[in-house]
Amino acid sequence: MNILLLGSGGREHALAWKLAQSRLIASEGGVLYAAPGNPGIAQYATLLSLDVTDHAAVIALCAEKGIGLVVIGPEAPLVDGLADSLRGEGIPVFGPSKAAAQLEGSKGFTKDLCERAGIPTAGYVRTKSLAEALEALGRFKPPYVLKADGLAAGKGVVIAEDLATAEEALADMFGGAFGEAGAEVVIEEFLTGEEASFFVLTDGASIMSIGSAQDHKRVGDGDTGPNTGGMGAYSPAPVLNAALRGEVISRIIAPTVKTMADEGTPYSGVLYAGLMLTPEGPKLIEYNCRFGDPECQVLMLRLDSDLGELLLACAENRLGTMEPAKLSPRKALTVVMAANGYPAEPEKGGAIRNIEAAEAGGAKVFHAGTTLDAEGNLVANGGRVLNVTALGDTVSEAQSAAYRAVTAIDFPTGFYRHDIGYREVAREAARERLG
């Protein structure tokens, strides 16, 4: 079967790596295509150029290449309804419809769904004007959590320590700082606890868990500096123990999938739940309608099942007939190497060398933001540039293996955090001391 993968980041490189190993590609003579892809993805896939906002062009390409499954990596084409256009032509697609992608595309939509379905989440108010928002602030205590309703590339959340900062942030949001995404703002109760992410595949009826992860969003060591898309991650998240995972599925994921189906907008694809483990139990912070980036990279390293078969089963509404996904008991950890200046203004064009040397020790280096220059040399072409990923029997071992590989890479205009996984490494060390 021929598969078309859409996207160009480290998440898509990890998906391409795993899809290339699928029976559908590896032993049935299928071809993996990727658009636009990147030089890392090009090791396994034929790259195509394609404007994913032109649905007719995507459909025409699928016909031309005999595509039997389209895998949509990023959220924007999902929220834009690309999956609906493809399904309308009878092309199997992994990823939710436009209506279902509202779980990521509109924070207010998700909060209202949680309320209807009794799903634990922070108390909230949806506001549609600055006046309404300023008035609503009075019902909350600091710190104030303010969220632009729509997609804002991970930048639409402001946590304001005091009223003046919150009022200023609201004025910015309604003043257009996040464009259309900020035409509505959700104000939320501040939750305390540890954050963890949980991932399931679903075809709208069946649910299959594919692992948990924790990431590091701040740019600097010790969780300092501005927020980013994620500077590193590890899987599993041991804080999300079996009892908590059960609770997350029964109280958060299952009611979401059921409510979406009952309301005529079944959710099909990967559902990524961002959770806060509060003293009252796990609460939903947000949903994403795609794999996390870089969380996907650590999940794929641990996945011992055939990814192509699982994604196709979601697309064909027969996930319930599949064996549960096999996840390695080993731990995976990824370190993001970013270009100097990230997240504000990443420097482009910096040379990258020695990836093969880094991989020789067993690590896997996923390309997140790379390209080839005119001479065919690999150079940086984005904020997050490489995801250096390794497995270990413990998070501490995976961390050592990933950093050994990081130091083998020659990327003089890049930087990385030195402490990815530190909480878990400390917990492992504490357990070790207790014997």
Residues 107-146 that bind ligand AMP (CB under 6 A): 122, 145
The answer to whether the peptide bond before residue 329 is cis (omega within 30 degrees of 0) is no
Measured CA to CA, the distance from residue 358 to residue 338 in angstroms comes to 16
Task: State which of residues 157, 239, 254, 261 lies at the interface with ligand AMP (CB under 6 A).
Answer: 157
**Residue 190 binding partner per list ligand AMP, ligand GLY, none, with a CB distance cut-off of 5 to 8 Å that depends on partner kind:** ligand AMP
184 forms part of the interface with ligand AMP (CB under 6 A): no
- Rounded least distance, CB 311 to ligand GLY, Å: 18
Nearer Cβ to ligand AMP, position 149 or 188? 188
C-alpha 311: how far from chain center: 16
Measured CA to CA, the distance from residue 95 to residue 271 in angstroms comes to 9
- Rounded least distance, CB 197 to ligand AMP, Å: 9
**Residue 47 binding partner per list ligand GLY, ligand AMP, none, with a CB distance cut-off of 5 to 8 Å that depends on partner kind:** none
Task: State which of residues 68, 81, 142, 274 lies at the interface with ligand AMP (CB under 6 A).
Answer: 274
| Number of neighbouring beta carbons within 10 Å of residue 194 | 13
| Exposure b/e, 76-93, CB count within 10 A at least 16 = b | bbbbbebbbbbbeeebbb
240 forms part of the interface with ligand AMP (CB under 6 A): no
**Residue 5 binding partner per list ligand AMP, ligand GLY, none, with a CB distance cut-off of 5 to 8 Å that depends on partner kind:** none
User: Which contacts qualify for 285-288: CB closer than 8 Å, 24 or more apart?
Assistant: 285/121, 285/122, 285/191, 285/195, 286/104, 286/107, 286/110, 287/103, 287/104, 287/110, 287/256, 288/75, 288/103, 288/104
Task: State which of residues 4, 25, 160, 285 lies at the interface with ligand AMP (CB under 6 A).
Answer: 285
Type of residue numbered 201:
L
Residue 389's beta-bridge partner residues? 334, 364
Nearer Cβ to ligand GLY, position 62 or 298? 298
Nearer Cβ to ligand AMP, position 348 or 422? 422
**Residue 188 binding partner per list ligand GLY, ligand AMP, none, with a CB distance cut-off of 5 to 8 Å that depends on partner kind:** ligand AMP
Measured CA to CA, the distance from residue 160 to residue 157 in angstroms comes to 10
- Rounded least distance, CB 273 to ligand AMP, Å: 11
Contacts with ligand GLY, residue ranges (CB under 6 A) = 154, 215, 229-230, 288, 292-293, 295
